[in-house]
Every structure is written in structure tokens, then in C-alpha cells.
Amino acid sequence: MDLEVWLNTHNGIAHRSDALDAGFTAHAIEKAMAAQRVRTARRQWLYTRRSSQALRAAAALGGRLTCVSAAQERGLWTITDERIHLAVSRNAVVRPAAHLRLHWGQPLVPVGAFELIDPVQNLLVSIADCQPFEKAIVVFDSAVRSGAVSFGELSRWQRRSKAFRRLAEATSQFSDSGIETLPVVRLRRLGIHMQQQVKIDGHLVDGLIGDRLIVQIDGHGPHSDPATRRRDLAQDARLTLLGYTVLRFDYYQVMYDWKFVEATILTAMAEGLHLLTATIGR
């Protein structure tokens, strides 16, 4: 296999020792570097253009990605954080910088010397101690939903902080993405319980408040194409004819105009639209 291709199967970056162990010769490595298809960081790390800036920074600074930076690399749902979160050893010499958030603590589980991304156990512990509740819970939900961890594992981990325990207790497996987690968390603070993934009329709805108030959340991706949009509107129409009130919000509204979302839901509840009795006599 070509060195560049091999590196790209390893997130675009690997230690020279790993490349040698994989069967690449020193000559092959030098040849790829001379052709500028492969570059180096700290002389011992080999990377291609496909590697992320965060991974290259971790290699250059002698650390590994943790917290939300590691979660992003592992494909978990995160709320954007412009900083690179880096786990470093206690004796590391790393200059503080505005774009870096350094994590000095002992990891929950050991990590190999040439690993640049924290395992899910370590990154969740770091997130619990570093991030605000909302930014942390979306990652916890995503980790459980993706199968990276289970509820049982979260409850059994040692050295868990109070913040970690709170997050573990609040974690749900029903959110397809963080955009569905946030309304549940925010409404819970108001004393409003929203059931998730309830089957009505043969289809799952994102959220149900009371008996009759349905909340649907359109995130990026699956809700963006015209065919899916038409399907969603058809479902909304069927639910309305069955006596439900359907409130549909998109990614932008949840992330950047939550006051509107909250006010709309509270208005509907004030009018009793979440109650079964509200449909009688229509």
C-alpha cells in the first residue's frame, strides 16, 4: 500500500514508528516526503493534507486531543468550540495560547504513546469537568446513541466528578443529534417534560408535551432535501387532522433564537394545546 493512502486510513497522520511497523521502509518515507505528498511534525509525525489542523497541532505540541476536540474527531455531535483541547502530561512544556485549552489531569484510562485522540472514556470525563452542561450533555447523548458507550458503563466508571454524575443521569438515547437534546434540557429547566421518540400515527415524533403538543426539530442533513421536507409536511398535516398541535422548529431557531422557540411552546401550553381536553369540541 502507498504511504499516503495508508496515512489517510489513519486520519491522515501517524507516528513514524507506526509507519515502520506497518512495513514502510525509511526510504519509502523519505521518498514520499521529497515528493511533498507527506509532511512531518516534530520530525517523527507523518501527515497528509487530509489530516485535521487539530491533529497536527496535537502532534506538534506533544499532546493528544481530548474533550470536545476529541469528540469532533470521533464523529460525536458537538457545539462548536474554536479552541483546541489538548491533554498533556504533567511535565509537558506547552506555552499557553488563546486557541488552546490544556488538560493536565491524569486520564481515566491509559493511552498509547502514539495516540493523538483520547478514547471516549477520557474525553467524556474531560468534557464533564470543562464544558457547560448544555455543551456537555449533547456529547454524552451522542456517545450513547452512537454506541460508543452504554448507560451501564457511565454509571460504573471510577473517579467520576459531581458534574459527570449529573450528566450521566441526564443522558438520553433518544436524541438523533444534539439539536434534539437541547430542547429537552432547556424545557426541563422550566419544569416541562417532553417525551422523545413517541410513535403516533405509525411514525415517531421528536417530542411530545402532555397529550397533544408535538414538537418537531429539523436539523441539518436529513431534513434539508425537498423530498424529506414534503414527507415532514405530510406528517404534520396528518397529525393536525388527528387533533394534535404540531410546532416545527429548525436548527437555526434552536441554536440562535431559543427565546422564540420557548415563547411559542409556552404560549401553546397557556392555551391548553398540550391537553387532551383542548381538542374536544373542535
Q: For residue 199, give the CATH number of its domain.
A: 3.40.960.10
Domain ranges, residue 206: 178-279
Mean pLDDT per 10-residue segment, the chain (282 residues): 95 97 96 95 94 96 96 96 92 84 91 95 96 97 96 86 94 92 97 96 95 90 71 92 96 96 98 81 51
- Contacts of 161 by beta carbon, 8 Å cutoff, 6+ apart: 125, 128, 129
Following CA atoms 86, 88, 92, 93 in sequence, which dihedral angle do they give, to the nearest 10 degrees? 10
The reply to whether 149 and 102 lie within a common domain is yes
Q: Spell 5-43 as b/e; 16+ CB within 10 A means b.
A: ebbbebbbbbbbebbeeeebeeeebeebeeeeebeebee
The reply to whether 59 and 166 lie within a common domain is yes
Number of domains in the chain: 3
The reply to whether 133 and 213 lie within a common domain is no
Q: What is the pLDDT of residue 67?
A: 98
The reply to whether 142 and 203 lie within a common domain is no
Residue carrying the nine cell digits 387533533: 243
Cell (9 digits) for 131: 464544558
Q: What is the pLDDT of residue 55?
A: 97
Tell me, rounded to whole angstroms, the distance of Cα 254 from its chain centroid. 16
DSSP code string of 47-83: E-TTS-HHHHHHHHHT-EE-HHHHHHHTT-------S
